[in-house]
């Protein structure tokens, strides 16, 4: 029997203090996921308290949903059980910044921008996101979010060194550590990357940092067609350059933030270079020559503030809250199949009222696409599900996949958000041993966990 | 069990020539490159497909027979030792490079492919790409073994360890299921299972296919050999180089004792006052090389370098690398055996860690020599000994344990790259609480509830003897 909200609130108050547990209407409404609201919002002040809340939840068979900074709570289907919103907003201490060893340990609720603020004076950074990012370190970790410069600096799995986690049954544990080479036992840190909290709440994490480059510049080039832009991207990748990003943007995307103008059907290639002044200059020159020979219509270079602002606009576009009129999907493919993936997406399905807008990381093989929905369309959910099924089948032939990143609630509950995953059988086995009661983020994660 | 019937079953699965059963053959597979030996085996089988392996593990499960996957047995922590007998599943025949896909900078290989052979095959394409991970054993060890141990090497500082180069795996689970994790597309939805299964030392299943990342070869390379009076000077140089923003491809340290041994073996002619050597490899754009090399030379001067040599290009650099590459051979000349410790500390703690190693060497009266992947803080104190001399092995293992305790105290790990295997099972308690180990064990039990797949490894023996469910 689930305790009444009042009873639950008083138990949580006893654990956390009255100032850290709420059941009032505005607070619970503020922690709604889709239209589901928690009975109580709890904000522990320490990892031990996170563990205590979970221990209570598993004893009482409650549904708990962790909240980092709350920027991506729409990811995944709404929770099947939702009694407690576990807010990590008080877990905001940076525990250790070891600049000589290029590592940083911080609590899960620390916003990425705090890390930038702390490390930039020493010319170091954590290569995820952009300097103004409000996302929490824990949220980035469990959503497996890597930065735009992943091609050069590695992704989450390359940068994470250690975690402290609170398990659904209340155990508080550390895995990994602070050293870059550590093969003692199974690398359980990796279980938390992309887990969406299915196996525990991350309370603390250690990352390796990188040194800021001496110089960085972005070459933005407009092409008359996507195919030409793609051919240039491939040529840039095959040349003796070491770009940090090679991305392609459709005319309909956040193109207004670009230093080159785009018309319908055109695409812009973005090549970001990090390095010494000399090497950046040389790469820019070679990059531009390649683009010219592939039919570029316009080129511009960005640096400094302007460059940061452009990436910020891009990320805001990509991560903004769900819009009832949009469906956002992420497609992953081997880089050589990006063009095919864009072709699939550009065959705008009937339920789209405008052209699909996309941003393709051609170096990594990841495409974010936004489909403006036609609310008038008959049987929208069935149409979208059928479309998803068909692009998944075609991507499957090319070793790719598609996931729904955001959709209006009426739609998301009827969609297969994650699609089939070959690892799902293993994830299910782990879930039954890590969270037998189904306390954490139930029903939200890959494999229906 | 009727062993003739068992052997007939195994032959039916893999074919008659692919079951080794003679006493000598079975005895040989009781060893790997560690100091341990295993129990008597039923047989050694050489499957050629994942389906055969699936049938083998199901056969083993149905009869309660333990089995151990084996690459080329170069592991030094006893990972491939059949501690409980049973069957060795040797992957030597699964040695095909299935695909080299340069457009996507990846290759798909079977687990028995030897690391160096993959590099050679990639280079045969005439393109400027390579598979980077380079454990010292690369000419013989297999990619499957490298994946299972998450092997390191000389170039981890800039390029990371094996796991950073693995995009996906096919694995036969102990119940016979064949699963694929990761793939040619990165960031598949859900937890990073590839990352979790890499480094599981053959205890969660048998890896039957591997997708590896290939990287562009650097445009230019320079190699530098710097000699210092003290280990501290060399180690401070390493930290100095990194804090000025340079990221060398490799930084390897040798202390005086190993320099003397190397000198005897390959006659380098180190000056008498040299107490430490540092090999630094820089790579990148040719435009940057001269300036970066100058900065390295400057920093070396700050720490009173006594000699500094430079070579340009990979080929020429081999001359300077020789003293590092000759180190293991040189150790072998010091006594009949050598025990290699594999601790890791935060880079800036390396001088302190090496001081403690010296103190431990004196206390145990052991002639410890040191090489270290200094950029990573990964130290390999190596202890020459003779396994036939009474008491030697015990003393060596005891000293090794103390070194690992020191590494953990300094904020590090009991193993940077060689793995736990059977060697460091009991040292796992230095890093993990009982509950942390129990939770880690949930992963093992989720894969292998009967504990037949490379059984009784990694976890402390005290824990394994308790009834676990
Ligand atoms: C495709 C894509 C690309 C993105 N790229 C970037 C980028 O480059 N840079 C950037 O800054 N942001 C990026 N984001 C946004 C980024 O993923 C989110 O901002 C961030 O992951 C969420 O942080 P948050 O603190 O707001 O998490 P929340 O929205 O609070 O939580 C997200 C999910 O994680 C769970 N969760 C949160 N914290 C924990 C925890 N500590 N333990 C267990 N579970 C937890 C929640 O229950 C929820 O399911 C991207 C998002 C997407 C979808
Ligand atoms: C001279 C020398 C130098 C070395 N230098 C280094 C170094 O620089 N860095 C480093 O990290 N290591 C080094 N090693 C250690 C060793 O070479 C590595 O651990 C290597 O990865 C082992 O590969 P292998 O094919 O020999 O595996 P094996 O020794 O046969 O097996 C090692 C482990 O992997 C498991 N395994 C093997 N294949 C599979 C498979 N297909 N599926 C599942 N499990 C499997 C085995 O069960 C065992 O637990 C060195 C060893 C020597 C002798």
pLDDT tens per residue across span A332-383: 999 999 999 999 998 878 899 988 999 999 999 999 999 999 988 889 999 9
CATH number, domain containing residue B264:
3.30.70.3450
Q: Is residue B418 part of a domain?
A: no
Closest in B185, B191, B436 to A333, CB measured: B185
- Among B134, B151, B157, B190, the residue to mutate for chain A (most A Cβ within 10 A): B190
Residues B225 and B208 in one domain: no
A101–B347 CB contact, under 8 Å: yes
Given CB atoms, is A430 within the 8 Å cutoff of chain B? yes
Residues B43 and B141 in one domain: no
Residues B198 and B128 in one domain: yes
Residues B226 and B321 in one domain: yes
Given CB atoms, is B469 within the 8 Å cutoff of chain A? no
Residues B240 and B348 in one domain: no
Instruction: Specify the residue with its C-alpha closest to ligand 2, atom 53.
Output: B74
d(C-alpha B229, C-alpha A410), whole Å:
72
Residue pLDDT, tens place only, B305-354? 999 999 999 899 999 999 899 998 899 888 999 999 999 999 999 999 99
Size of interface A-B (CB pairs under 8 A): 248
What are the DSSP calls for A87-122, one per residue? E-TT---EEEEETTTTEEEEETT-BHHHHHHHHGGG
Domain span holding position B81 = 3-90
| Distance between Cα B73 and ligand 2 center (Å) | 6
Question: What's this model's pTM, rounded to 2 decimal places?
Answer: 0.95
Q: Is residue B160 part of a domain?
A: yes
Q: Tell me if B136 sits within 8 A of B152, measured CB to CB.
A: no
Give the other-Cβ count within 10 Å of A299's Cβ: 18
Q: Return residues 91-120 of B near A (CB < 8 Å).
A: 101, 103-106
Helix (H) or strand (E) holding B44: strand B41-45
Which residues of chain B are within 8 Å of residue A155 when distances are taken between CB atoms?
Answer: 186-187
Q: Which of B111, B114, B154 is nearest to B133 (CA)?
A: B154
What are the DSSP calls for B143-189, one per residue? HHHHHHHT---SSHHHH--GGGGEEEEEEE-TTS-EEEEE-SSSS-S
Residue pLDDT, tens place only, A165-202? 999 999 999 999 999 999 999 999 999 999 999 999 99
CATH number, domain containing residue B114:
3.30.465.10
Q: Is residue B190 part of a domain?
A: yes
**Closest ligand to the CA of A319:** 1
Residues B282 and B338 in one domain: no
**Closest ligand to the CA of B419:** 2
Q: Is residue B48 part of a domain?
A: yes
Q: Which of B216, B219, B326 is nearest to B282 (CA)?
A: B219
Q: Tell me if B104 sits within 8 A of A335, measured CB to CB.
A: yes
Q: Is residue B191 part of a domain?
A: yes
Residues B204 and B227 in one domain: no
Residues B60 and B144 in one domain: no
Domains held by chain B: number: 5
Residues B187 and B272 in one domain: no
Ligand 1 atom closest to residue A142's alpha carbon, by position in its atom list: 34
Please list the pLDDT of chain A residue by residue as tens digits (449 residues). Answer: 688 999 999 999 999 999 999 999 999 999 999 889 999 999 999 999 999 999 999 999 999 999 998 888 988 999 999 999 999 999 999 999 999 999 999 999 999 999 999 999 999 999 997 888 889 999 999 999 998 999 999 999 999 999 999 999 999 999 999 999 999 999 999 999 999 999 999 999 999 999 999 999 999 999 999 999 999 999 999 888 999 999 999 876 677 788 898 988 899 999 999 999 999 999 999 999 999 999 999 999 999 999 988 988 888 888 877 788 899 999 999 999 999 999 999 887 889 998 899 999 999 999 999 999 998 888 999 999 999 999 999 999 999 999 999 998 889 999 999 999 889 999 999 999 999 999 999 999 998 88
Q: Which of B117, B447, B378, B405 is nearest to A180 (CA)?
A: B378
d(C-alpha A307, C-alpha A321), whole Å:
24
d(C-alpha A336, C-alpha B103), whole Å:
6
Residue A234 beta carbon below 6 angstroms from any ligand 1 atom: no
d(C-alpha B93, C-alpha B110), whole Å:
9
Given CB atoms, is A103 within the 8 Å cutoff of chain B? yes
Which residues of chain A are within 8 Å of residue B191 when distances are taken between CB atoms?
Answer: 190-195, 198-199, 423, 427, 430, 446
Which residues of chain B are within 8 Å of residue A214 when distances are taken between CB atoms?
Answer: 245
Longest dimension (CA), chain A: 71
Q: Which residues contact A24 (CB under 8 A, 6 or more apart)?
A: none
pLDDT at B466: 57
Ligand 1 atom closest to residue A134's alpha carbon, by position in its atom list: 11
Q: Give yes or no for residue B469 having a pLDDT over 70.
A: no
Q: Is residue B66 part of a domain?
A: yes
**Out of A239-248, B156-165, B201-210, B459-468, least confident range:** B459-468
Residue A188 distance to chain B (closest CA, Å): 6
Residues B212 and B231 in one domain: no
What structural domains does chain A harbor? 5-89 (3.30.43.10), 94-211 (3.30.465.10), 215-316 (3.30.70.3450), 321-412 (3.30.70.920)
Closest in B191, B411, B433 to A194, CB measured: B191
Q: How many CA atoms lie within 13 A of A419 on its CB side?
A: 25
Q: Final residue of a domain: which of B277, B307, B328?
A: B328
Q: Give yes or no for residue B373 having a pLDDT over 90.
A: yes
Residue A138 beta carbon below 6 angstroms from any ligand 1 atom: yes
Average pLDDT of every residue of chain B:
95
Q: Final residue of a domain: which of B55, B90, B125?
A: B90
Q: Is residue B176 part of a domain?
A: yes
Q: Final residue of a domain: which of B328, B349, B367?
A: B328
Given CB atoms, is A397 within the 8 Å cutoff of chain B? no
Which residues of chain B are within 8 Å of residue A285 when distances are taken between CB atoms?
Answer: none
Residue B226 beta carbon below 6 angstroms from any ligand 2 atom: no
Residues B201 and B259 in one domain: no
CATH number, domain containing residue B382:
3.30.70.2740
Residues B394 and B312 in one domain: no
d(C-alpha B220, C-alpha B313), whole Å:
7
Given CB atoms, is B27 within the 8 Å cutoff of chain A? no
Q: Is residue B424 part of a domain?
A: no
Closest in B190, B411, B419 to A446, CB measured: B190
What is the distance between the terminal CA atoms of chain B, rounded to a whole angstrom?
26
């Amino acid at each position: 029997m689930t305790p009444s909200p009042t009873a639950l609130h008083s138990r949580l108050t006893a654990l956390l203090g009255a100032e850290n547990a709420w059941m009032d209407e505005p607070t619970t409404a503020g922690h709604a996921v889709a239209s589901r609201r928690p009975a109580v919002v709890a904000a522990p002040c320490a990892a031990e308290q996170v563990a205590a809340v979970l221990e209570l939840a598993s004893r009482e068979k409650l549904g708990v949903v962790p909240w980092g900074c709350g920027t991506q709570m729409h990811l995944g289907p709404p929770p099947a059980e939702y009694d407690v919103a576990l807010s990590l907003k008080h877990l905001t201490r940076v525990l250790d910044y070891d600049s000589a060893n290029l590592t940083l340990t911080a609590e899960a609720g620390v916003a990425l921008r705090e890390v930038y603020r702390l490390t930039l004076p020493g010319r170091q950074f954590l290569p995820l996101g952009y300097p103004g990012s409000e996302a929490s370190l824990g949220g980035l970790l469990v959503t497996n979010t890597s930065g735009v410069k992943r091609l050069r600096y590695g992704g989450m799995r390359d940068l994470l060194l250690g975690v402290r986690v609170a398990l659904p049954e209340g155990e508080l544990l550390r895995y990994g550590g602070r050293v870059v080479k550590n093969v003692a036992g199974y690398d359980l840190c990796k279980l938390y990357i992309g887990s969406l909290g299915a196996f525990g709440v991350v309370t603390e994490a250690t990352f390796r940092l990188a040194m800021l480059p001496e110089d960085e510049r972005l070459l933005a080039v407009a092409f008359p067609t996507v195919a030409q832009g793609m051919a240039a991207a491939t040529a840039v990748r095959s040349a003796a350059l070491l770009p940090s990003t090679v991305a392609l943007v459709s005319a309909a995307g956040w193109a207004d933030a670009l230093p080159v103008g785009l018309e319908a059907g055109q695409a812009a290639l973005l090549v970001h270079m990090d390095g010494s002044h000399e090497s950046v200059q040389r790469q820019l020159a070679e990059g531009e020559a390649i683009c010219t020979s592939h039919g570029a219509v316009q080129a511009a270079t960005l640096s400094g503030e302007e460059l940061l602002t452009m990436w910020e606009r891009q990320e805001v576009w990509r991560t903004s809250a769900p819009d009832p009129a949009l469906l956002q999907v992420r497609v992953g493919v081997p880089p050589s199949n990006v063009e095919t993936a864009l072709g699939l997406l550009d065959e705008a399905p009937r339920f789209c009222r405008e052209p699909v807008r996309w941003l393709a990381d051609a170096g990594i093989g990841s495409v974010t696409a936004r489909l403006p929905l036609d609310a008038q369309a008959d049987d929208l959910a069935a149409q979208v599900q059928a479309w998803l099924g068909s692009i998944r089948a075609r991507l499957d032939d090319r070793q790719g996949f598609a996931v729904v990143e955001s959709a209006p609630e009426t739609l998301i509950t009827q969609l297969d958000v994650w699609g089939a995953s070959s690892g799902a059988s293993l994830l299910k086995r782990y879930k039954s041993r890590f969270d037998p009661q189904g306390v954490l983020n139930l029903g939200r994660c890959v494999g229906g966990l | 069990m009727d062993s003739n019937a068992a052997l007939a079953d195994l032959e039916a699965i893999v074919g008659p020539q692919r079951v080794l059963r003679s006493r000598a053959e079975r005895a040989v597979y009781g060893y790997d490159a560690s100091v341990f030996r295993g129990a008597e085996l039923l047989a050694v089988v050489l499957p050629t497909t994942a389906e055969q392996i699936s049938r083998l593990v199901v056969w083993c499960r149905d009869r309660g027979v333990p089995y151990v996957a084996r690459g080329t047995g170069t592991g030094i922590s006893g990972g491939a030792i059949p501690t409980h007998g049973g069957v060795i599943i040797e992957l030597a025949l699964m040695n095909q490079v299935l695909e080299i896909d340069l457009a996507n900078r990846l290759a798909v290989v079977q687990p028995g492919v030897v690391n160096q052979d993959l590099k050679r095959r990639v280079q045969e394409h005439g393109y400027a790409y390579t598979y980077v991970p380079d454990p010292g054993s690369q000419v013989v060890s297999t990619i499957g073994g490298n994946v299972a141990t998450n092997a390191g090497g000389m170039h981890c500082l800039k390029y990371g360890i094996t796991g950073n180069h693995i995009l996906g795996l096919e694995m036969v689970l102990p119940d016979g299921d064949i699963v694929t994790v990761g793939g040619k597309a990165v960031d598949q939805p859900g937890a990073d299972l590839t990352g979790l299964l890499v480094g599981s030392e053959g205890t969660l299943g048998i890896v039957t296919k591997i997708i590896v990342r290939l990287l562009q070869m650097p445009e230019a390379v320079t190699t530098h050999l710097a000699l210092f009076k003290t280990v501290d000077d060399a180690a401070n140089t390493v930290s100095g180089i990194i804090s000025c923003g340079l990221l060398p491809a490799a930084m390897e340290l040798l202390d005086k004792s190993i320099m003397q041994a190397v000198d005897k073996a390959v006659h380098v002619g180190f000056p008498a006052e040299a107490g430490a050597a540092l090999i630094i490899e820089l790579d990148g754009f040719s435009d940057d090389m001269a300036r970066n090399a100058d900065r390295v030379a400057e920093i070396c001067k700050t720490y009173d370098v006594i000699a500094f040599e430079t070579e340009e290009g990979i080929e020429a650099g081999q001359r300077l690398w020789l003293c590092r590459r000759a180190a293991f051979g040189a150790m072998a000349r010091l006594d009949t055996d050598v025990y290699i410790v594999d601790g890791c500390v935060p880079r800036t703690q390396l001088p302190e860690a090496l001081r403690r190693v010296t103190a431990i060497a004196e206390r145990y009266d052991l002639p410890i020599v040191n090489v270290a992947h200094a950029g990573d803080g990964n130290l390999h104190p190596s202890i020459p000994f003779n396994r036939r001399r009474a008491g030697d092995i015990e003393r060596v293992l005891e000293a090794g344990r103390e070194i690992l305790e020191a590494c953990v105290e300094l904020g590090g790990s009991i193993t940077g790259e060689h793995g736990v295997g059977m060697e460091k099972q009991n040292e796992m308690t230095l890093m993990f609480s009982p509950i942390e180990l129990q939770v880690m064990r949930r992963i093992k039990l989720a894969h292998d509830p009967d504990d037949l797949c490379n059984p009784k490894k990694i976890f402390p023996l005290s824990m394994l003897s308790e009834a676990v469910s």
